[in-house]
Amino acid sequence: MASLLTIYIAWFWTLFLISVSANDVSTGGPSSPFPAIFMFGDSSVDNGNNNYLVSFAKANFMPYGINTSWDPTGRFSNGKMTIDLLGELLGHSYLSSFEMTQTQGSNITWGGNYASAATVILDETGRYLGQRITFNEQVRNFQTTMNKLKATMDDMNLSRYLAKFVGIRESWKQRLHKQLSLSLHALGLRKFLLAAVGPLGCIPNQISRGLFPIGACKDDVNMVILFNDRLKSLVDELNTQYNGTSIFVYGNSYAALMQIIQDPNTYGFQATNIACCGIGMFQGRISCLPFEIPCSNRDKYVFWDAFHPSEAMDKILASRAFNGSTSDCYPINVSQMAIMF
């Protein structure tokens, strides 16, 4: 099933939400401050795009989604994911996957989700898992949506519509800087949330490869810290470069996860190094299989499967992005970003 290397893909990658200027167009739900949110990223934020690909990285079967009232959607979680939960906090409707907007004509007015499991920022990587949607393709898909919107709106309204918000999750700094500046910024996106890479060395799949005491992680975590530092400094650079016209925010999901892994009881968790669903050591060797019976106390697990956080964990990540201090969300949090411009 899922290749051992998936983890680099799952966590080394990018989520952005984007949105757009509020008053001009209908808003993204009952009370959302963002008319639209666009999301780019990997399996930790894919809400079904991979169902349409020939790939091993899939989650459209039970027990994925076991905690939801809907059928398995392709979300790599027992329940809702960070983006769904952040959307709820913002009063924003759930995003349709890009593939659904293409194949089923789902509503794109309030945004879409372009994320794909097994995606990485470099097109060259991730191939061994089969077909996937690379970052460049996600941006191209986004342009397709833009063209659709253009057909229903004049340019002025569209650029106002596109003035608000984006979230992202790391990458090569320069590649990302260029992508953001050229592709996305030029498309009119104005508010960006860039999420840190999670603590790779702590996920059950990595821990299952050695004998680690509880709470310990593999050392390659340190490499991730460097990476995240660069991401944070990219945020500073971009905020200086686009001062007053755009805002970029760094979501420190790394710190939140580490804090909870090191002090689980305070946050109501019991299992930090073992997956709720999966096979082998720490249930981390092989990811959750179709119709496998997962653990029953899912809220006590930081990790749902070998690679991905549980809904309980994602809930914390979403609320810290929404309303956290500067150590969670820098230099401002999403609720502050919502009222800018």
Ligand X SMILES: *[C@@H]1O[C@H](CO)[C@@H](O)[C@H](O)[C@H]1NC(C)=O
Q: What is the DSSP letter of 214?
A: T
Q: How far is CA 253 from CA 169, 193, 286, 289, 328, in A?
A: 9, 11, 25, 27, 7
Q: Which residues pair with 165 in a beta bridge?
A: 19
In angstroms, the CA 83 to CA 167 distance is 10
Taking the chain, what is the end-to-end CA distance rounded to the nearest angstrom? 46
Label residues 89-106 b or e (16+ Cβ within 10 Å = b).
bbebbbbbbbbbbbeeee
Residues that bind ligand X in the complex, under the rule CB under 6 A: 24, 26, 67, 79, 107, 109, 153-154, 157, 239-240, 243, 296-299, 311-312, 323-325, 333, 335-336
Strand 329-330 to 191-195 pairing: unpaired
Nearest in space to 322 (alpha carbons), one of 124, 102, 159, 85: 85
Angle between helices 311-323 and 82-90 (to 10 degrees): 40
User: Any catalytic annotation for residue 185?
Assistant: no
In the complex, the smallest distance separating the C-beta of residue 67 from ligand X, rounded to whole angstroms, is 4
Nearest CB to ligand X, comparing residues 131 and 159: 159
Distance CA 241, CA 167 (A): 18
Shortest Å distance, C-beta 51 to ligand X: 22
User: What is the C-alpha to C-alpha distance for residues 204 and 126, in angstroms, rounded to an integer?
Assistant: 20
Q: How far is the CB of 282 from ligand X (least distance, A)?
A: 20
Give dist(CA 230, CA 128) in Å, integer.
Answer: 28
Q: Is 177 a catalytic residue?
A: no
Q: Which of 19, 32, 43, 77 is catalytic?
A: 43
Report, in Å, the least distance between residue 140 CB and ligand X: 22
Is 26 or 262 the residue whose CB approaches ligand X more closely? 26
Among 319, 212, 301, 304, which Cα is nearest to 261's?
Answer: 301
308 noted as active-site residue: yes
Task: Tell me the catalytic residues.
Answer: 43, 305, 308
